[in-house]
């Protein structure tokens, strides 16, 4: 005689299309189809948001220094840009690439600051050259031209910096950001599974 015995009930399947925290990343993935794997576009969106925040901070400081002080435009840009490096590093590391724990100076902090300083120097040179050519303009126009030069210099490096951060500086975390998925073993069963798990019906012969 065969007696069916019902095993553990299967866990309910959650439709990930309605999980709020994952909607934004998937939206960007759909826009570019298969051009970018996993959550790359989600990181790019967060990276862009960080850039908006830190650039807004630096440009605000730059405008204040240009309007309210008499220091040269290149020095004002240097001070304003330097003020945004710290917040940019913290937000990119913890929010964009989800790094936690103690940072590595050799692999993360040092390269990030070196890249930021290189961009700062390029921006400072650009603003110095433009400011010299716009010395005859009014205060408002002079400020607008200098701010535009600073913004253009950083914008030209924006995507290149993301690629460097993604591929080298925060590469280890990026590889695991998509989440590890247990793969079937050679025998076809999932690892770390008790013998009774996944069994919906057991037939015994009496």
For 135, residues 6+ apart whose C-beta sits below 8 A from its C-beta are 142
Instruction: Supply the pLDDT for residue 119.
Output: 87
In tens, the pLDDT along 158-196 reads 989 999 999 999 986 444 444 444 444 444 444 454 444
Cβ(40)–Cβ(166) below 8 Å = yes
Residues 49 and 195: their CA atoms lie apart, in Å, by 48
Q: What is the 3-state secondary structure (H, E, C) of the chain?
A: CEEEEECCCCCCCCCHHHCHHHHHHHHHHHHCCCCCCCCHHHHHHHHHHHHHHHHHHHHHHHHHHHHHCCCCHHHHHHHHHHHHHHHHHHHHHHHHCCCCCCCCHHHHHHHHHHHHHHHHHHHHHHHHHHHHHCCCCCHHHHHHHHHHHHHHHHHHHHHHHHHHHHHHHCHHHHHHHCCCCCCCCCCCCCCCCCCCCCCCEEEEEC
Q: What is the pTM of this model?
A: 0.60
Q: Specify the pLDDT at position 3.
A: 58
How much is the pLDDT for 172?
A: 63
Which pLDDT value is given to residue 27?
52
Rounded to whole angstroms, the Cα distance separating 50 from 37 reads 21
List the chain residues with pLDDT less than 70.
Answer: 1-38, 172-206
């Amino acid at each position: 005689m065969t007696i069916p015995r019902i095993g553990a009930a299967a866990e309910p399947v959650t439709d990930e299309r309605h999980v709020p925290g994952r909607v934004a990343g998937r939206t960007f993935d759909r826009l570019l189809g298969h051009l970018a794997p996993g959550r790359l576009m989600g990181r790019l969106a967060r990276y862009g948001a960080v850039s908006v925040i830190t650039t807004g901070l630096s440009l605000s400081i730059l405008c204040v220094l240009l309007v309210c002080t008499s220091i040269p435009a290149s020095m004002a840009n240097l001070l304003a840009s330097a003020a945004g490096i710290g917040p940019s590093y913290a937000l990119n590391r913890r929010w964009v690439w989800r790094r936690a724990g103690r940072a590595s100076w050799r692999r993360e902090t040092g390269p990030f600051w070196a890249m930021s300083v290189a961009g700062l120097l390029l921006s400072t040179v650009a603003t110095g050259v433009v400011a010299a050519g716009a010395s005859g303009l009014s205060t408002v126009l002079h400020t607008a031209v200098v701010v535009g030069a600073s913004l253009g210099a950083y914008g030209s490096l924006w995507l290149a910096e993301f690629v460097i951060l993604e591929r080298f500086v925060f590469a280890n975390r990026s590889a695991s950001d998509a989440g590890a998925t247990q793969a079937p073993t050679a025998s076809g069963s999932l690892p770390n599974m008790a013998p009774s798990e996944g069994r919906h019906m057991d037939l015994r012969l009496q």
